[in-house]
Amino acid sequence: MTTPSSRDRALGRGVFALIPQAGDSVSAADRAGAALAALRTVPVHVGVLQAAVILLEEAEHTDQDAVRAATTASTVALLKAALAQAADDH
């Protein structure tokens, strides 16, 4: 594993600052949406997004907590939109 450059670390800190944190009384779906928006121009391996969608869809179908299942469904929708955008960009 390589050590990130100072530029990459600064970019990571900047992106982190843009994403609302749990203590800010926002939902997980809101944080996921902000993260996806902030990372829109950062290349992410499509396989990572696909794996996340698969895992979250499984969690959505097995979760008994309605609020958490709805948040998971919203996050899955955001990830699928990011995948579609990535496909359109290529």
The model's pLDDT over 48-78, given as tens digits with 9 standing for 90+, comes to 778 888 888 888 888 788 877 887 888 888 8
Domain annotation covers residue 15: yes
Mean pLDDT of the chain: 76
Domain annotation covers residue 84: yes
Q: For residues 23 and 70, give the distance between their C-alpha atoms in angstroms, rounded to a whole number.
A: 20
Domain annotation covers residue 56: yes
Domain count, the chain: 1
Average pLDDT over residues 11-26: 65
Asked whether the beta carbons of 32 and 75 are under 8 A apart, the reply is yes
Domain annotation covers residue 1: no
Mapping DSSP onto H, E and C, the string for 27-57 reads CHHHHHHHHHHHCCCCCCCHHHHHHHHHHHH
Domain hosting 68: range is: 6-89
- Give percent of the chain with pLDDT exceeding 70: 80
Encode 34-71: b = buried (16+ Cβ within 10 Å), e = exposed: bbbeeeeeeeeeeeebeebbeebeeebeebeeeeeeeb
Domain annotation covers residue 82: yes
